[in-house]
Chain A
Amino acid sequence: MEVTAQAASLVYRGAEAEVVRTEWHGRDAILKRRTAKPYRHPDIDRRLRVARTKEEALLFRAAREAGVAVPGLFDVDMEECALTMEFVPGPMLKAALNEGSDERRRALARAFGRSVAALHVAGMVHGDLTTSNVLVDGDRLVFIDFGLGGKTTEDEDRGVDLHLLMEAMESTHAAHHDLYGVVVEGYREVAPFAPAVEKVVKEIVRRGRYRSEKG
Chain B
Amino acid sequence: MRALGIEGTAHTISVGIVEEQGGRCRVLGQATKMHLPGAGKGIHPREAADHHAEHIGVLVEQALQKADVDPGTLDLVAFSRGPGMGPCLRTAATAARAIALRLGTPIVGVNHCVAHLEIGRGTTDAKDPILLYVSGANTQVIGEALGRYRVFGETLDIGVGNTLDKFARERGLPFPGGPEIEKLARGGKTLLPLPYTVKGMDVAFSGILTAAEQYAQQGTPVEDLAFSLQETLFAMLTEVTERAMAHAGKDEVLLGGGVARNKRLQAMVAEMAEARGARWFVPEPQLLTDNGAMIAWTGLVMHKAGVRHALEQTIVDQRFRTDDVEVVWR
Contact = CB atoms under 8 A, between A and B. Distances in A.
A38 B319 CA distance: 38
A209 B138 contact: yes
28 contacts: A15-B247, A16-B242, A16-B243, A38-B275, A40-B231, A41-B191, A43-B193, A47-B193, A128-B199, A130-B247, A132-B247, A148-B199, A160-B156, A160-B199, A164-B202, A167-B152, A167-B153, A167-B200, A167-B202, A168-B200, A171-B150, A174-B146, A174-B150, A210-B82, A210-B322, A211-B321, A212-B319, A212-B321
A170 interface: yes
Nearest to A44: B235
B235 A210 contact: no
Nearest to B324: A212
A148 B239 CA distance: 12
Contacts, number: 109
Contacts of B193: 43, 47
B191 A44 contact: yes
Interface of A is mostly: loop
Interface string B231-260: 110010011001101111000000000000
Interface residues of B, number: 49
Contacts of A128: 199-200
Contacts of A41: 191, 231, 235
B200 A127 contact: yes
Contacts of B215: none
A80 B245 CA distance: 25
B238 A175 contact: no
Interface of B is mostly: mixed
B129 to A, nearest CB: 15
B272 interface: yes
A7 B294 CA distance: 51
B199 A210 contact: no
Nearest to B320: A210
Interface string B74-86: 0000000011000
A172 B243 contact: no
A56 to B, nearest CB: 14
B200 A148 contact: yes
A208 interface: yes
